[in-house]
A and B are shown apart, each in its own frame.
Chain A
Amino acid sequence: MIAGSGITPSSAGITAAADVPAPTVRPTSLLRRSLRLWRTRIGVIIVGGLVLLAIIGPYIAPYGPSTPVGVPNATPGGKAVLGTDYLGQDVLSRFLYGGRNILVTAFIATAAGLIVGVAIGLIAAYARNALDDVLMRIMDVILAFPQIMLALVAVAVVGPHAWVIVLAIALTTAPRAARVARGAALPVVERDFIACSEAMGVPRWRILFGELLPNTLGPLMVEASLRMTYSIGVIAALSYLGLSPNPNSPNWGTMIQENQIVLPVQPWGAVMPIIAIALLTIGTGLIGDGIARTAAGIDRARSAE
């Protein structure tokens, strides 16, 4: 049927296309383009450094996290570079051990919340009917509770298990991600390539994740880094309030709580984790901001045509 010959380019009058330069590579992705901004680079360096620290920390720590090395609340010097805490444990070692837990929990909780939330948001946007309303009103109900309060209640009722904290944070992250995903997907749903897939009979789930999702990645990446920032804050706050799975395990949040009373005498036990948590949230925030700016075209060096 459709074999060559019928129309030669000349009869079609459009030989032109052929002399266009050879195909170029895919225009660089949003993530890579955002790395041209200094704010994104600084964010990546900070977060990367802290993640690295949390991973290799336990291997380079001079002592174990719960090993008593001297008198309590000793100022820096001697065997303990950053002094000792209220139990005489080495502050530096506890600091190096204490990041892993908070990062892993925050990452898993955020990822789970995002996956569920984005799926709900995309389905709602694509459905455009009663299902949209039902899903989004459920999300609104969850949104009505402050994140930290819901987590507190969950931990208070079930107990301070790691999975409870992860679940509580994922649950409260999901509706926020769902709103953003739905908002980003709504204009895409109206575009003709979605209609084209429908006319072709492409399965719904494939339209959702093959056609819709890739076109909402920009705002979702921003949301992901923002939600990560919030999750870190909430987990640190929970452990600060003493609601971590193991009260004596090294943990930045717990460390602040344990050592805040002696702040004037031996500040390092509280200050180090404070700096780390602050840097972590600033770093993720900078990355999110960088991606958002790139997506919006702010700071674009390329001049308009």
Chain B
Amino acid sequence: MTTPEVAERSLEPTQPAVSVTDLEIQIAATRTPVVSDVSFDIAAGEILGVVGESGSGKTTVGLALLGHARRGLRIAGGSVLLGGSDILTLGDEQLRRLRGGSVSYVPQDPASSLNPALRVGLQLREVLEAHARDRDGGQIDERVAEMMREVALPDDRGFLKRYPHELSGGQQQRIGLAMAFANRPSLIVLDEPTTGLDVTTQAHVLSTVRELAGLHNVAALYVSHDLAVVAALARRVAVMYAGRIVELGTAEELFSAAGHPYTRRLIGAIPRLTGGRTLVGIPGHAASPGNRPPGCAFAPRCSLRIERCEEEIPALRPVGPEHGVRCIRAEEVIATEQRRAGDPIGHPAAAALSGALRLDSVVALYGRQEVVHSVSLSLAEHECLALVGESGSGKTTIGRAIAGLHHNWTGKITLGEMPLQASARRRSDEARRRIQYIFQNPYGSLNPRKSVGEIIEQPLRVFGTARGREASTRVAEMLERVALTAGYAARYPDQLSGGERQRVAIARALVCDPAVLICDEVTSALDVSVQAAIVELLGNLQRDLGLSMLFITHNLPLVRSIAQRVAVLHQGTIAELGDVAQVLGAPEQPYTRQLISDTPSLEVAIAEVGLAEPEVS
């Protein structure tokens, strides 16, 4: 393996804090490899980012550093050297003492990793007591207070007496961080700890991670699907694909001169805050363990594929002092300019002539609590309006009120010339047909007991549009329109990937021939490359079919790639509304500015490490 070589040269004169060599993890029952040939070093005080899409094996690698394999998996080979001993050879008792002590873990979901029945103070004490040797109660109390200060939480008794559900998501994750850093570990594994947090909270958590790792000289492995987050945090980044590291290098190198076609495509799929461009997804999807091709795993999706790619698995070769690439054409890839991330979006002239949808002083309530305060909006025909805001800002409530799914609202919503009733049940078929809603989670929005054909056909039956053979033809037509094939009609949702499911959900909306499409965080459950493909599809559909679209999202950069206008929602009121370029480029409201500066972006990350925007655009 060439990786150690690559990594070794990157090291400071000191020994690496942790050194992983030839890690191999298999499915226990079938011995199918899930993760292979993974080697890297992390120096003390360094944060190594591991990025990859779902199923790439990034979390599996992270857990292996703790000597743990998920149920059904088995660590089959390799070594994880930490402080001179190989973690993979330790017994259960030794591992137990190691974990939480010199190795710790911050899980993805803080809400489910804290015990809801115990006060947070007690849970913090437990971590200390489990590894304390000669500390008395007073010392532990002191340490708890110190830990709380480190993660910028109040250290008073009142706060420590709270239960996890009395804390916000960001506070819960800080408690998680405090627990992980409690025993001054030498290695810490962070598994997407900011997924599900708002950008502002995420920014705070990330800076806490950076400070603590630097302060205590901890080697950290930061696992994430979000390249922008990793770029902002880590000096070196490993890109994983199909269980292997395909590229390992400094963040600058990766973003300015990536050597693996996959890295290039991944960067191209990331929406940018500056300069709206159409996104380009990566065709195809990653092969699951057991179905991986014999050669380079990315070859089937790669535009630079040559015959040799399919014959042998390329080795991770050094192409620079700290840069390793698993591609036989790496030099050629590096030599070419980073491909344009797509064309700037050319929006049709804002057709402000007639409104497709109007909201006049809409007030929405949950019980007696007002969550949306007098919001007025209008959506022009053929226009895509983005509605952005953090969780709890009321953006989804507005969308659901328009669709008639949230009934408790007052004010006026007009579709064309037609005033809408509060609940979908009381609306006419025509109103229900012309507004279509696409849900956030494609895993929940398709009935698992129905075939794709039945799902897409349902609206046709409900609205009496088509029956029998005609309906089947329409279903096939819709499937092709969302870039699936007619053969998908016979499948069931659990046989589809997340992106395919979302396409089916889009087809179900389109089959109604809607005038207004409400997309509620439609890509937040999907990988970046899939997200890019879905946004690309929605953008094309919107332009080609002349749809009016309300695109609800918390992802600011994404707005650039799809919308003409944007409304920034803050605590139930519209903070700012205007053209995308204007609002994101020259925000007038302090809240918008704050939101933009908290959004991790590749540009900022690259600027921070002292590099100009690479030749991307």
Contacts and interface: CB of A to CB of B under 8 A. Distances in A.
Contacts, number: 142
Nearest to A21: B487
Interface stretch (B89-97, B379-387, B539-547, B598-606): B539-547
B511 to A, nearest CB: 8
Contact of B27 (A16, A23, A27, A303): A303
Contacts of B28: 303
Interface in A154-195: 191-193, 195
A197 B533 CA distance: 26
B287 to A, nearest CB: 11
B439 A22 contact: no
Interface stretch (B67-75, B184-192, B554-562): B67-75
Contacts of A9: 483
B347 interface: no
B88 to A, nearest CB: 20
Given A4-B477, A7-B540, A198 B405 contact: yes
Contact of A202 (B439, B458, B487): B458
B424 A199 contact: yes
A221 to B, nearest CB: 14
Contacts of B491: 23-24
Given A13-B283, A27-B494, A27-B495, A4 B480 contact: yes
A24 B533 contact: no
Contacts of A195: 405, 437, 439, 445
Interface string A187-226: 0000111011111111000000001001100000000000
B52 to A, nearest CB: 15
Interface residues of B, number: 72
B568 interface: no
Nearest to B279: A13
Contacts of A4: 477, 480-481
A302 B72 CA distance: 9
Interface string A16-46: 1111001110110000000000000000000
A7 B424 contact: no
Contact of A193 (B30, B445, B462): B445
B404 A7 contact: no
Interface stretch (B76-84, B124-132, B360-368, B446-454): B446-454
Interface residues of A, number: 40
B281 interface: yes
Residue of A19, A23, A195 contacting most chain B CB atoms (<10 Å): A23
A303 B33 CA distance: 13
Nearest to A8: B483
A299 interface: no
B265 to A, nearest CB: 11
A129 interface: no
A9 B424 CA distance: 34
Which applies to chain A's interface (DSSP): helix, strand, loop or mixed?
loop
B540 A1 contact: no
Contacts of B29: 301-303
A18 B545 contact: no
B281 A14 contact: yes
B392 interface: no
B488 A215 contact: no
Nearest to A25: B490
Given A193-B447, A196-B439, A199-B405, A305 B288 contact: yes
9 contacts: A12-B540, A13-B533, A14-B536, A17-B485, A23-B490, A196-B508, A199-B405, A200-B458, A215-B448
Interface of B: 27-30, 34, 55, 70-73, 280-281, 283-285, 288-289, 301, 403-405, 424-425, 427, 429, 432, 435-437, 439-441, 444-451, 458-459, 462-463, 477-478, 480-481, 483-485, 487-492, 494-495, 500, 503, 508, 510, 513, 532-533, 536-537, 540-541, 544-545
Interface of A: 1-4, 6-7, 9, 11-19, 22-24, 26-27, 191-193, 195-202, 211, 214-215, 301-305
Given A7-B540, A14-B281, 16 more contacts: A3-B477, A12-B533, A13-B536, A23-B495, A27-B492, A191-B444, A192-B440, A192-B441, A195-B405, A199-B432, A199-B436, A200-B458, A200-B462, A202-B462, A301-B29, A303-B72
